Amino acid sequence: MQETIGNRRSYSVSGSCKLEEQRYSHHHYSGVTGRMRTSSLGSGGWDCDWGSVRLQYHHYSPPCGRGGDRLWEGELGRTWSKGNRRHHSTEEEEEDEEEEEDRTLWTSAEMRRFIFSRTHTPGSDAPSSLGSTPSHRQGGHRQLGADTLRLRAGLFCVFPYLDVRSLLRAAEVCSDWRFVARHPAVWTHLRLENSRVSAEFLITLSQWCTQTQSVILHNLKPRSRRANEAREDYHRNTRGSVEVGLEALLRSAGGSLLHLSVSQCPHILTDRTLWLASCYCRNLQTLTYRSSSDPVGQEVLWALGAGCRNISSLQVAPTHPCQQPTRFGDRCLQTIGRCWPHLLSLSVGGASCRTQGLVDVVRSCAHLQVLELERVTDLGLQAATELCKAGLSDLQTLILVHTPVSGQAILHFHNMCDNIRSIVVDVSASDYFEEPDTQEAQHLFGEILSTLNVLQKRPGLSDVLQVKVEGLC
């Protein structure tokens, strides 16, 4: 069922903070019924473990040519916390964690106050110009004084650096703060991480995200499991539960969205996210999708390639441990090469990625500057020879994450790729051996590390090769 969600206005801010009125058409959100309303920030809306995590919201410009989401490592990171592993934890651990989280949620009084302020305050919607006042919007715009204009101009310089929670709280202060806090120019970069969100909350945010350029969703959690709800029923009921809200958000951002990152949001966001992006955000330049429950498949990649042809940085390696390890494989690599031959940065991986698939994508994407391979089965001298023969002439950065690689392969990459500036090897004993704790495995892994350390001291490689060993300082 599709229903119209009101008439809305979007605005832009010029250098002198003059705002120009602009109407846009009715929005239809599939699967959303009723009138748009603001959801609470607690259960059913948005909450967070405030004692241990931070929600950051700031201007963000992904760097070019240095590894896509690997370059975002300082922001997103790869470390798995207890919250990141919830869908693999035991039932008792999950219940204890939920009880701990529930103690940090907003109180009912706070949620009621937020909803009341959004739905009952006169002129709570953003006015049509900087010089108008909400209470006089229906009777004609009244030009505000110079002090008020200076106040709003100053708020426009500060509010874009606030996190989501702070922005929503700032909107409750007064009409001038509400005007700026709910203005689309403040929501150009949206970041939600380590939070429990609902579709209604994302639909509410979509009202102000008409000029959003980047969206980062990291480690989002579904609602808590009810006391009488079985684990299987809980996963079935929460699977894709946030996608309706994400659809509203992507539809609202439209062509202004350039950077989209969805990582470690199992069950609540599936690979349908990429299909939605292909429908509404056709100007995407960088895309990250990392999932352990729903890795990207060939059909979704093909649809994404048909809608978003300008992607230059693609990060789609499945998150370990992956529940569908065979879903991303050689056919996906071939599709990537056909859809985006001008890729500059690529991150792929998984046990199903073979040498032939990697050769196909390297041959098609001749201008690759950054290549990240995560948990590829083997990368020996023969595989390195075939990859360098197929392409990689412009390669500047090679990142091997938990991919068993030989010293000869590293030497071949360094000798054949003239523009190589950095080779990062991140390994552990489990990458080479099925039983890494045995004495023999530890001895052989020590010899591998010795070889890598010798290569690090080799002239020409000392400034290029970086070796990171899991479990060692």
Residues 393 and 459 in one domain: yes
Last residue of one domain, picked from the residues 319, 343, 367: 343
Residue 85 within any structural domain of the chain: no
Residues 307 and 407 in one domain: no
Residue 331 within any structural domain of the chain: yes
Residues 339 and 384 in one domain: no
Q: Which residue has the tokens 């992904």?
A: 62
For the chain, what is the radius of gyration of the CA atoms? 25
pLDDT at 267: 87
CA-CA distance, 134 to 191, in Å (whole number)?
Answer: 28
Q: Which residue has the tokens 């403040």?
A: 186
Q: Number of H helices and number of E strands within the chain?
A: 15, 14
Query: Across-strand partners of 74?
Result: none
Residue 226 within any structural domain of the chain: yes
Residues 266 and 393 in one domain: no
Last residue of one domain, picked from the residues 286, 316, 343: 343
pLDDT at 266: 87
Say if residues 390 and 359 touch (Cβ distance below 8 Å).
yes
For residue 367, CA distances in Å to 65, 165, 285, 301 come to 11, 41, 16, 20
Q: Which residue has the tokens 């054949």?
A: 416
Say if residues 409 and 384 touch (Cβ distance below 8 Å).
yes
Determine how many CB atoms are found less than 10 A away from the CB of residue 454: 11
What are the residue ranges of helices labelled H in 286-406? 298-307, 330-339, 355-364, 381-390
CA-CA distance, 247 to 287, in Å (whole number)?
Answer: 16
Residue 362 within any structural domain of the chain: no
Residues 301 and 206 in one domain: yes
pLDDT in tens, the chain (473 residues): 444 333 433 333 333 333 333 333 344 434 333 333 333 333 334 444 433 333 343 443 444 443 433 333 333 333 333 334 344 444 444 455 554 444 444 444 444 444 444 444 444 444 444 554 444 444 444 567 888 899 999 999 999 999 998 999 999 999 999 999 999 999 999 999 998 889 999 999 999 999 999 999 999 988 888 989 998 899 889 999 999 999 999 999 999 999 999 999 988 999 999 999 999 999 999 999 999 999 999 999 999 999 999 999 999 999 999 999 999 999 999 999 999 999 999 999 998 999 999 999 999 999 999 999 999 988 999 999 999 999 999 999 999 999 999 999 999 999 999 999 999 999 999 999 989 999 999 999 999 999 999 999 998 899 999 999 986 64
Residue 5 within any structural domain of the chain: yes
Last residue of one domain, picked from the residues 326, 343, 360: 343
The token duo for 369 is 């500057």
Residues 205 and 251 in one domain: yes
DSSP reduced 3-state for 9: strand
pLDDT at 144: 72
Residues 329 and 397 in one domain: no
Q: What is the DSSP letter of 367?
A: T
Residue 141 within any structural domain of the chain: no
DSSP reduced 3-state for 196: strand
Residues 197 and 72 in one domain: yes
Residues 200 and 63 in one domain: yes
Domain with 249 in it: what CATH number? 3.80.10
Residue 162 within any structural domain of the chain: no
CA-CA distance, 210 to 146, in Å (whole number)?
Answer: 28
Residues 195 and 74 in one domain: yes
Residues 331 and 435 in one domain: no
pTM for the model: 0.72
DSSP reduced 3-state for 29: strand
Residues 325 and 382 in one domain: no
Domain housing 217: 1-11+53-79+187-343
Burial readout 292-319 (b: 16 or more C-beta within 10 A, e: otherwise): bbbbbbbebbbbbbebbeebbbbbbbbb
What's the total number of domains in the chain? 2
Residue 364 within any structural domain of the chain: no
CA-CA distance, 187 to 361, in Å (whole number)?
Answer: 36
Closest to 346 in 3D by CA, of 404, 431, 288: 288
